Amino acid sequence: MSGNPQEPNLDDILKAVEQESQVEIRDPLTDSEEEELNKQLSETVEAKRLKSVMSREQEGSGNENALKVLVIDDSAIIRKSIIRNLKSSYEVIADEAGSVQQALDLLDVVKLYDFVTLDLNLPGAFGLKFLEGAKERGIDVNVIVVSTENEKGTITQALLLGAKGYLLKPFSGDDLRNALKKFIK
């Protein structure tokens, strides 16, 4: 044997750190493990949000005159912008959804909105699926489509499925308020 002390290998170092810190060190997550973890986290966050909405519905909103609005858009910035714009002119209780499924889940809980703004280009399903889902549930919703989709066939289909109006993005706050006037008492 030579006089050089043997250098510890990486496994020995990791074991020592685990024992010292009582933290399990493991290999990085595989793509499928990371995807599953993200899905579980998303479902947990969504469940908490729905629970909050349900609680608000059971307790009452606090102001019966406030407009109940559902804003469906995959962009959080656009959702917040629409809500901020509405709150500048009206008292609003707003729910937000980033996908058709989230919106339908909220609709199942709340059942009644004064109006809904609906983007069409959403992850997972085209926005018209929301209109179909509301119809299947027998829930009449006042929907204004707000989208970059400007094909005549898409606009016609949205109106046939029950949309009450159609705004092309980008739109001004005045455009939005004018489109919604017919729903505001």
- Strands 92-97 and 67-72, bridge-based pairing: parallel
Alpha carbons 141 and 162: distance in angstroms, whole number: 8
Q: With H, G, I as helix, E, B as strand and everything else as coil, classify residue 6.
A: coil
Identify the structural domains of the chain with CATH numbers, from first to last.
11-60 (no CATH), 62-183 (3.40.50.2300)
Question: Which pLDDT score is estimated for 1?
Answer: 47
pLDDT tens digits, one per residue of 96-139: 999 999 999 999 888 889 999 999 999 989 999 999 999 999 99
Mean pLDDT of the chain: 81
- Say what the pTM is: 0.68
pLDDT tens digits, one per residue of 46-60: 655 555 555 555 445
